[in-house]
Structure 1
Amino acid sequence: MSLYEHLKRMNLVNLGNVYHNLPAAKLVEHAIKRGEGVITDTGALNINTGKYTGRSPQDRFIVDYPEIHGMINWGKVNKPISPETFERIYARLTAYLQKKDIYVFDGFIGADRRYTHSVRFINELPAHNLFVRQLFIRPTQKELENFIPQFTVISAPNFNAIPELDKTNSEVFIILDLVKKIIIIGGTHYCGEMKKSMFTAMNFLLPQSNVLPMHCSANMGKDDDVALFFGLSGTGKTTLSADPERRLIGDDEHGWSDDGIFNFEGGCYAKCINLSKEKEPQIYEAIKFGSLLENVVVDENGIPDYSDNRYTENTRAAYPIEYIPNAVLDGVAGHPKTILFLTADAFGVLPPISKLTKEQAMFHFISGYTSKLAGTERGIVEPQATFSCCFGEPFMPMNPSVYAKMLGEKITKHNVNVYLVNTGWSGGPYGVGKRMDLNYTRAMVRAAINGDLEKVKYVEHPIFKVLVPKECPNVPSEILNPINTWHSKDEYNRYAKELAIRFYENIKKFRDLSNEIIEAAPSVL
């Protein structure tokens, strides 16, 4: 099927110019001509996404069909919308796009070709088309000759929903039709909605092929040892996996099959608030021509100020994975040796690193405790303690037990070491304590991955029951036990018990958990 036959079948007719698979340079040229952004001193394109500088989770819907109704974990995260409502919005959207120029990118999601899905992105804006071109897997010329899209994503940021008519919560909409395999997005200029929508689709499709989809970054050592980093946005997945001493597999989304892991994407989407060449050299150097910046403050000479958060804390950089030196470009690797659960603890009471038993690993995976950081979602202006099952609940359409069961089986089968890493606060809660020093966190992560933490003595935390190392190379021993960093031990215990109670209240939502997992919960006495 040709491009124009596909567009016609999608009722995309009477269009203006159709720009198909333009190279990055041409997309940047079009974006500049249209006034969508400016070029920085390193050649990156910087755009401003307006009032929406993060995801809009309250505006995401899944079309409810009888054939998938029982497979979706409906609720506040996965909100249903009727096929009739979807069709009504879709009809107005296609009418809106008539006479307008569109930008089309054909790409893949899923580096392991046995589980790859082809995606056609149709964008109103060239800057958004540049984003998907750099973030998703770019087909070879031969693959493009026979390209047939399995999914179609249509993004029109300047087209708004009508809440009274469309039964949406605002003018923004992100609607996934998992049966017809169409995703439509409107009302928001934030690029990340396109990426996370396809991630959500893969999280629905892959478990049906016995592949575990994971919200994690991954890297590989010189001996091909693989490490996974689970965590929500802002907890350090991208930063910690971009390690000059290891090869980056991917920074956010992966699958775990019977043969090993594979990246979903062909690029990275890094937070760049307070980015510096000294602390994050690989990400810093990746922001060059072909990269896309979102909401970074840039002066009249094109010099970015990564410390300026006037637009949002959630400033972002999107770039192809080949911009990271020594990356694993085919995106495929073996089974992991180490798993790290990253949490940004706003209470400031979790140890900076602790070792988990298999049962504790399952407990913390199901709990998914972290803090939503400022800017990652609309309305979040300071850290908020939250629980996000599987460290990615906003993107998991199926029952959490589906993903948790698969992970537990793989941890056991492949004898994986699991650690909980607090990249959040130490010495007190948010507003009192300080964010964990990145250099210390890097040292602890490296010690976990290279086996140094297998050689040290541990002490069990009296409340959280996790095993806290007594020492770690290149880390002051006094910060390893978090109570030592607080001015008042009584205050520490009070906050720690409050968090323990939150863990307990959250885990009660889940049924059919084994006694071993429940007993791995923190003590609330």
Structure 2
Amino acid sequence: MSTPIYATTRSNPFSFDDRNRNLPVPALVEAALARGEAILTREGALRAVTGKYTGRSPKDKFLVNEPSVRDKIDWGPVNQPMDPEVFDRLYRRVTEYMEKRQPYIFDGYAGADPAHRLPIRVINELAWHNLFIRQLLIRPTQRELAEHRPELTLIVAPGFKADPARDGTRSETFIAISLERGLILIGGTYYAGEMKKSIFSVMNYLLPEQGVLPMHCSANVGEDGDVALFFGLSGTGKTTLSADPERRLIGDDEHGWSGRGIFNIEGGCYAKCIGLSREKEPQIWEAIRFGSVLENVMLDDQRTPLYDRKDITENTRAAYPVDYIPSSVVPGIAGHPKVILFLTADASGVLPPVSRLTPEQAMYHFLSGYTSKLAGTERGIVEPEATFSACFGAPFLPRPPLVYAEMLGEKIAEHDVRVYLVNTGWSGGPYGVGKRVKLEYTRAMVRAAIKGDLEKVPMRPDPVFRVAVPESCPGVPQEILWPKNTWKDPEQFDRQARELARRFQENFAKFKDIPSRIRDAGPKAE
């Protein structure tokens, strides 16, 4: 039976066989197996391989240059414009392709707070993609499903390869977002993370107009209702550090901060699982079971996942519902945060593993968004590469970074939030010489920051980065708190630290009309 289904309330319908609409998990698993899209692991998770693209394709992402949004977008290499006529032609080609298939449809929501949630429809060529997005978005009740009217639709056709000369794309891959029409087209890539991040990009556009700060962060809450936020790019430890057995998980990657508090934008988690072990990350380990999706993970002859292997990519991933984590908060709503942690994976090995920031330093480091892109998170990244990503999420920000930074600064001041910079990267030398800070030490520092233990110990300013470094921390060797102590050559450390400070300054120079109190809060290379 072919039924006309509107992509959204603002765009044209196309017809498809609707038998595969809002299927339960077992039916999607059966379909993926029957179609040869994936296989089952020993623990029951569905394992898929994404082919040549094992990470996001940021250079193939476009925003449609439409009158209603044109003056609000931060156009440039992140938000590349696409003409509406080009988008329309691509839309017709993609829908013609999908009408010849039997796509899988999921209706759900982004935003756990009903006051700010977005109804979404996802139309997938593949069953395993539909299972992935079903587990990542917020799943409606039967009553909500009967009333569901999509305001955003994704049409995901990985088998459709664009012709750049004909379709106006850069390559065979495309992620094209029409904010005016509430429509996203994705094709030419099997990497499921493109769906998740394109939805986040739309929420980053919509929420500020509702007075809500969208954030690329994980969040958890303690028994006393004390909320902590963990900002950081992929690979810095958001998912790992927020999945703490001593606290309840709100969400692992995307949140909104409204006048009432924090809410999860998603209903699932998307964890990097390279090097995953039961001992270090027991909650994530136990969450990978029937209903979960593994991407690009090697298996042995018994179909046991080999998490230490990176034959396909280092960016191996696991997707699962947030309620697979014991004691998770469902729905993902909590109060205002008490502590914010900016996570960075410093590949140069010179940033302190934990330090306290003043409000001005918090604004500086939020706008800077320094970290190292880790291997596999984007196409072409094969080893850690220093980068500055405004607001710890520049690839997903349609609006200028100052829009989000000013909102964060206001909320930090209003709620008297403590802010820390946590380096989950290298110690004892740069990448290739030193080693990553042990997870057990990072966990101890994070817990001390959240509990307020670091407020009880003396702190000294770092001479280059000028952040306040604690002289001690429970459960952490004192010598690693000052990274210079871990280097064999102190003079080489000083040179490396000054070089990183110089890079901070060069990056920050692009921000105009910044108050001097914030601009002067950064590192000093002299």
**1:45 match:** 46
**2:62 match:** 61
- CA contact 2:3–2:15 (8 Å) conserved in 1: no
Residue 411 (structure 1) shift:
0.4
Q: Hey, what's the Cα distance between the residues in 2 that align with 1:5 and 1:95?
A: 14
**1:401 match:** 402
**2:510 match:** 509
**1:6 match:** 6
Residue 8 (structure 1) shift:
10
Which amino acid letter does the alignment assign opposite residue 231 of structure 2? F
Q: Hey, what's the Cα distance between the residues in 1 that align with 2:417 and 2:16?
A: 53
Q: How many residues align?
A: 524
Residue 7 (structure 1) shift:
5.7
Residue 17 (structure 1) shift:
5.5
Equivalent positions of 1:203-218 (< 5 A) are 203-218=204-219
Q: Hey, what's the Cα distance between the residues in 1 that align with 2:8 and 2:284?
A: 41
Within the alignment, does 1:346 sit opposite 2:347 as a pair? yes
Percent identity reads: 62
Which amino acid letter does the alignment assign opposite residue 47 of structure 1? A
Residue 58 (structure 1) shift:
0.2
Which amino acid letter does the alignment assign opposite residue 442 of structure 1? R
How has the CA–CA distance of structure 1 residues 487 and 399 changed in structure 2, closer, same or farther, with 3 Å as cutoff? same
**2:246 match:** 245
- CA contact 2:257–2:263 (8 Å) conserved in 1: yes
Q: Hey, what's the Cα distance between the residues in 2 that align with 1:12 and 1:393?
A: 33
How has the CA–CA distance of structure 1 residues 162 and 447 changed in structure 2, closer, same or farther, with 3 Å as cutoff? same
- CA contact 2:3–2:16 (8 Å) conserved in 1: no
Q: Hey, what's the Cα distance between the residues in 2 that align with 1:230 and 1:14?
A: 42
Q: Hey, what's the Cα distance between the residues in 2 that align with 1:383 and 1:440?
A: 21
Within the alignment, does 1:448 sit opposite 2:449 as a pair? yes
Residue 5 (structure 1) shift:
4.2
Equivalent positions of 1:108-147 (< 5 A) are 108-147=109-148
Q: Hey, what's the Cα distance between the residues in 1 that align with 2:382 and 2:5?
A: 46
Q: Hey, what's the Cα distance between the residues in 2 that align with 1:70 and 1:5?
A: 32
Within the alignment, does 1:191 sit opposite 2:205 as a pair? no
Residue 518 (structure 1) shift:
1.0
Q: Hey, what's the Cα distance between the residues in 1 that align with 2:320 and 2:459?
A: 40
- CA contact 1:206–1:213 (8 Å) conserved in 2: yes
Residue 441 (structure 1) shift:
0.2
Residue 300 (structure 1) shift:
2.3
- CA contact 1:425–1:434 (8 Å) conserved in 2: yes
Q: Hey, what's the Cα distance between the residues in 2 that align with 1:8 and 1:490?
A: 60
- CA contact 1:272–1:317 (8 Å) conserved in 2: yes
Q: Hey, what's the Cα distance between the residues in 2 that align with 1:228 and 1:19?
A: 38
Q: Hey, what's the Cα distance between the residues in 2 that align with 1:510 and 1:373?
A: 25
**1:101 match:** 102
Deviates more, 1:495-504 or 1:14-23: 14-23
- CA contact 1:12–1:97 (8 Å) conserved in 2: no
Which amino acid letter does the alignment assign opposite residue 226 of structure 1? V
Q: Hey, what's the Cα distance between the residues in 1 that align with 2:148 and 2:317?
A: 30
Within the alignment, does 1:226 sit opposite 2:227 as a pair? yes
How has the CA–CA distance of structure 1 residues 7 and 258 changed in structure 2, closer, same or farther, with 3 Å as cutoff? closer
- CA contact 1:52–1:189 (8 Å) conserved in 2: yes
Q: CA RMSD in A?
A: 1.2
Q: Hey, what's the Cα distance between the residues in 2 that align with 1:56 and 1:97?
A: 22
Secondary structure of 1:46's partner? strand
Cα deviation, 1:158-214, whole Å, max 9, x if unaligned, reads 001111222211100000000000001000000000000000000000001110000
Q: Hey, what's the Cα distance between the residues in 2 that align with 1:353 and 1:282?
A: 24
Residue 146 (structure 1) shift:
1.2
How has the CA–CA distance of structure 1 residues 227 and 252 changed in structure 2, closer, same or farther, with 3 Å as cutoff? same
**1:356 match:** 357
**2:151 match:** 150
Equivalent positions of 1:477-516 (< 5 A) are 477-516=478-517
Equivalent positions of 1:412-423 (< 5 A) are 412-423=413-424
TM-score, length basis structure 2: 0.98
Residue 299 (structure 1) shift:
1.7
TM-score, length basis structure 1: 0.98
Secondary structure of 2:432's partner? coil
Equivalent positions of 1:222-301 (< 5 A) are 222-301=223-302
Q: Hey, what's the Cα distance between the residues in 2 that align with 1:182 and 1:255?
A: 22
Cα deviation, 1:197-236, whole Å, max 9, x if unaligned, reads 0000000000011100000000000101000000000000
Q: Hey, what's the Cα distance between the residues in 2 that align with 1:446 and 1:21?
A: 40
- CA contact 1:14–1:99 (8 Å) conserved in 2: no
Which amino acid letter does the alignment assign opposite residue 304 of structure 1? P
Q: Hey, what's the Cα distance between the residues in 1 that align with 2:245 and 2:258?
A: 27
Secondary structure of 1:101's partner? coil
Residue 519 (structure 1) shift:
1.1
Residue 18 (structure 1) shift:
3.8
Deviates more, 1:65-74 or 1:347-356: 65-74
Which amino acid letter does the alignment assign opposite residue 167 of structure 2? D
**2:310 match:** 309
**2:470 match:** 469
Residue 4 (structure 1) shift:
3.5
Gaps of 5+ in 2: none
- CA contact 1:341–1:420 (8 Å) conserved in 2: yes
Q: Hey, what's the Cα distance between the residues in 1 that align with 2:432 and 2:377?
A: 19
- CA contact 1:12–1:94 (8 Å) conserved in 2: no
